[in-house]
Structure 1
Amino acid sequence: MVQRSARRYEGSCHCGAVRFAIVTDFPELTTCDCSICRRRNALMVKVHESRFELLDGAGALAEYRFHTRTARHYFCKVCGIYPFHRKRVTPDHYGINVHCLDDFDPEGIPVRQTVGAAME
């Protein structure tokens, strides 16, 4: 396992209309088996809202909610990429799609499968 210290990472959607930054040490990455996560196949890191900053593109974001309508999934209106979402169980946290981070390699970070499909 790769030990990382907390630092700032920047990321974006594919077209660059949405840009954001996070601070994390990547304790783990997660996948989820809910219907939307299975389809988008994202690999996520959880960060507290105080460690997330939307740098640009608030107007380019579309929001999607389903099931309990608690989790808030964000997509770029221009290119359709999912960069992050507000979490359902911990709404003061974001789930960040690590594939949207600039120059980030997830190699060596443990991946935990979360169960979303069976959530009530």
Structure 2
Amino acid sequence: MPESRYSGSCHCGAVRYEVDIDLAGAIECNCSLCSKRGFIWSFTPADKFTLTDGAQATRTYKFNKHVIDHRFCETCGVEAYALGSMPDGSRVAAINVRCLDGVDLTQLQPRKVDGASL
């Protein structure tokens, strides 16, 4: 899948964003958070992510090494995206693919990642 422009949101729609992303790199992680919440993630440089609505409606959750800002809606609790840094220091947006509008999840083949061992 080539990079495409998507819009996405939390469940209630209070938090909305637009992102340019290639979903071919989607992953499913088995860490405690991802497995309990059923996340499918895809990553893109932070400058390709734009929060269009709801900055005031988001809260941050950090766990493990406290390097990723897991952003969730204070109303519905859905984490539609996260922000962090790559090992080289470049900023990255992690997109919860399940929150993207119009994506057929049956067409994705996310790579399994053993985050539980990290």
TM-score by length of 1: 0.87
Partner Cα separation in structure 2 for residue 5 and residue 115 of structure 1? 25
Once the two structures are TM-superposed, the CA of residue 86 in structure 1 deviates from its matched residue by 2.0
2:59 corresponds to 1:66: no
Partner Cα separation in structure 2 for residue 83 and residue 93 of structure 1? 14
Partner Cα separation in structure 2 for residue 102 and residue 67 of structure 1? 30
Are the equivalent residues in 2 in contact too, given 1:28–1:109 (CA < 8 A)?
A: no
Once the two structures are TM-superposed, the CA of residue 51 in structure 1 deviates from its matched residue by 1.0
Amino acid at match of 1:36: L
Task: State the aligned residue count.
Answer: 116
User: Identity of counterpart residues, as a percentage?
Assistant: 34
Q: Which residue of 2 aligns with 1:78?
A: 75
Deviating above 6 A after TM superposition, structure 1's stretches of 4 or more consecutive aligned residues are: none
Residue by residue over 1:68-112, the C-alpha shift from the partner in whole angstroms, topping out at 9 and shown as x without a partner, is 111111110000111011246556112111111111113333311
Q: Which residue of 2 aligns with 1:104?
A: 103
Are the equivalent residues in 2 in contact too, given 1:43–1:98 (CA < 8 A)?
A: yes
SS in 2 for 1:117: helix
TM-score by length of 2: 0.89
Task: Choose the corresponding residue for 2:45, options 35, 44, 48.
Answer: 48
Unaligned runs of 5+ in 1: none
Partner Cα separation in structure 1 for residue 85 and residue 31 of structure 2? 12
Partner Cα separation in structure 2 for residue 58 and residue 23 of structure 1? 19
Q: 1:83 to 1:105 in 2, by over 3 A?
A: same
Are the equivalent residues in 1 in contact too, given 2:58–2:74 (CA < 8 A)?
A: yes
Unaligned runs of 5+ in 2: none
Choose between structure 1 and 2: higher helix proportion: 2
SS in 1 for 2:116: coil
